[in-house]
Structure 1
Amino acid sequence: MSKRIEARGLTKRYGDKIAVDDLTFSVEPGRVTGFLGPNGAGKSTTMRLVLGLDSPTAGTVTVSGRRYADLVGPAHAVGALLDARAVHPGRTAANHLLAVAQTAGIGRKRVDEVLGEVGLANVAGRRAGTFSLGMSQRLGIAAALLGDPPVLMFDEPVNGLDPEGIRWIRTLMRDLAAEGRTVLVSSHLMSEMALTAQHLLVIGRGRLIADTDIEDFLRTHGTESVLVRSAEPDRLARLLRRAGADLESEVDALVVSRLTAREIGKLAAAEGIALSELHPRRGSLEDVFMALTNDAVEYGVPA
């Protein structure tokens, strides 16, 4: 059976508002897929549709070839973290997981295993209501892992985590994908997605904007420039402008667009201009994402 999430023409309306608009995509196993979009883009609604928590107005979405409602032993097919605080505050971490496990026919041994995997073994007897947001995220991830599912979905999993925790979950996501699982991660932290995801789904106002490998995404939509430093910046600037370059100044350096590093080096060498630095740069994932989704932001800051 295919271990993937597949949406075909997926649409969800709430009255006259379209939250998800004719989405078609496939989340494949063996890689971390980052699910990106501005606030109100439809990411959480899409995840709820995958898990059968909402019903689509049109279209279909399946996990491993079946609608979530038709899965046999869904905890063993897909694990999800949508809301880290959706835990009874009076239950201990261990009892919360045990209650979830018992509904799926999972034994106590597995509860102890996942508590260890997420670093909560030492606080298993503490009430969940006393947990920080970061600890609650770990508990939610433990619940998602209980059934050892081949498909995993995480909505903003790094919220509240300290740097050690962020590195831990980044490694966990990649390890899960390396095991051949399908991993879908929604996040607003572009810098973290750049380190974690191998593939991207980008949506805005409910519609698909990009479905691509992260390197292709940056190469196709990003802008490249070259940082150049020289003891003769004015002379170098005149030379590069004559060659058709666009220039910006940056802390005793020039940022050059429309010429490659190789072209800049050849021009400078031909004129006898020594360069102390010649460094190609590409726009960050955050830069590219912001530019690409600028028209799809629902709640923008007035100019």
Structure 2
Amino acid sequence: MIEAQSLTKRYGKKLAVDDLSFSVTPGKVTGFLGPNGAGKSTTMRMILGLDKPTSGQVRIGGKRYEELRHPLRTVGALLDAKWVHPNRSARAHLLWMARSNKIPTRRVDEVLDIVGLSSVADKRAGGFSLGMSQRLGIAGALLGDPEVLLFDEPVNGLDPEGILWIRQFMQRLADEGRTVFVSSHLLSEMALTASELVVIGRGKLIAQSSTEEFVARATGQSVKVRSPQLDVLSKALSAEGANLTDTDDGLIVSGLDSERIGEIALAHNVVLHELSPQRGSLEQAFMSITGDSVEYHAEAGTGPGTETSNPLPTTDN
């Protein structure tokens, strides 16, 4: 379990993380979302002891990272896929990591096999593609068979087959009871991968909830209705205070749930051909909730190079 309490991080006058508290529980894939410059990378670095908080604290399994005797056995992380000496082979890189934490050397070949790099284990890591480097980084995260795993943009450089593999792999790790915390800009992928979300903006917590709750709260509730008697049904629904939007083959109804719409249709002897709740996308929800936390916006309806004069985002993501 990861527990962050009032985390704050300043770099000079820049406030990167602002009194941030959240928890990441075992048995779920928890997505970590936020616009560019929101403080996600800084937060992950503080979790791993790479950056010291200005105030507040973060604990992994009840301990600070620096208190862990053999940290790779407790927490594994992929923050930078290219963090490897280019002249070392994949196997040599992992052997070095294993020795530093007293991990049996046989584990190196096990994780190379898990991520599909056994055939290139003795090749220079500097010649790897980004996708292969991602797989090597994941192997390093798994090396100590840890209970807590952090991944920052783990699908970068992966082909569709690789993206599907890492999605299923992270879900399998969570099903084993591990704590899985993953940051990604690919919202469509996060919608398929994460059951829980931590969303931040400008260093502050915006929301922590299930993915389903986050989308429902941000995009509202609507129902698609098709019927050969739309005129009758429209009048009845309007009388109940529903908001109606015409479509090519029916109505989108907001303000009433599907059960109430069905009851109204029955009361007016209206035949229904479709009554289906409409769920917004994670992307729509994210844009709706984080809009005020984006550091710059493009002018609507304008071409490239016409952004507003708001500051450019920082390199932290």
Moved more, 252-261 or 94-103: 94-103
Cα separation, 2, equivalents of 1:71 and 1:43? 23
Q: Find the counterpart in structure 1 of residue 33 from structure 2.
A: 36
Cα separation, 1, equivalents of 2:28 and 2:263? 40
Quick check: 1:39–1:299 contact (8 Å CA) kept in 2?
Answer: no
Quick check: 2:216–2:280 contact (8 Å CA) kept in 1?
Answer: no
Q: 1:259 pairs with 256, 260, 268, which one? A: 256
Q: 1:134 pairs with 123, 131, 136, which one? A: 131
Measured against aligned partners, the alpha-carbon deviations of 1:215-245 in whole angstroms (never above 9, x if no partner) come to: 3333444411011123344554344333322
Are the structure 2 counterparts of residues 115 and 250 from structure 1 closer, same or farther at C-alpha, using a change threshold of 3 Å? farther
Cα separation, 2, equivalents of 1:249 and 1:294? 28
- One-letter identity of the residue aligned with 1:297: V
Q: Find the counterpart in structure 2 of residue 78 from structure 1.
A: 75
- One-letter identity of the residue aligned with 1:257: S
Q: 1:286 pairs with 275, 283, 288, which one? A: 283
Quick check: 1:199–1:214 contact (8 Å CA) kept in 2?
Answer: yes
Q: Give the RMSD, CA atoms, in angstroms.
A: 1.9
Q: Percent identity?
A: 62
Structure 1, unmatched stretches of 5+, are none
Cα separation, 2, equivalents of 1:270 and 1:65? 57
Cα separation, 2, equivalents of 1:280 and 1:178? 29
Cα separation, 2, equivalents of 1:98 and 1:69? 22
Q: Give the alignment of 1:54-65 within 5 angstroms.
A: 54-65=51-62
**1:80 positional shift:** 0.4
Report the 3-state secondary structure (helix = DSSP H, G, I; strand = E; otherwise coil) of the residue aligned with 2:273.
strand
* Misfit runs of 4+, over 6 Å: none
1:163 matches 2:163: no
Cα separation, 2, equivalents of 1:289 and 1:35? 12
Moved more, 108-117 or 120-129: 120-129
Cα separation, 1, equivalents of 2:128 and 2:202? 34
Report the 3-state secondary structure (helix = DSSP H, G, I; strand = E; otherwise coil) of the residue aligned with 1:168.
helix
What number of residue pairs does the alignment pair up?
A: 300
Cα separation, 1, equivalents of 2:58 and 2:130? 31
- One-letter identity of the residue aligned with 2:206: I
TM-score normalised by length of structure 1: 0.91
Moved more, 66-75 or 86-95: 86-95
1:151 matches 2:176: no
Quick check: 1:79–1:153 contact (8 Å CA) kept in 2?
Answer: yes
Q: 1:49 pairs with 43, 46, 56, which one? A: 46
Q: Find the counterpart in structure 1 of residue 185 from structure 2.
A: 188
Quick check: 1:245–1:257 contact (8 Å CA) kept in 2?
Answer: yes
1:11 matches 2:30: no
Cα separation, 2, equivalents of 1:88 and 1:176? 28
Cα separation, 2, equivalents of 1:36 and 1:43? 7
Are the structure 2 counterparts of residues 65 and 243 from structure 1 closer, same or farther at C-alpha, using a change threshold of 3 Å? closer
Cα separation, 2, equivalents of 1:71 and 1:266? 59
TM-score normalised by length of structure 2: 0.88
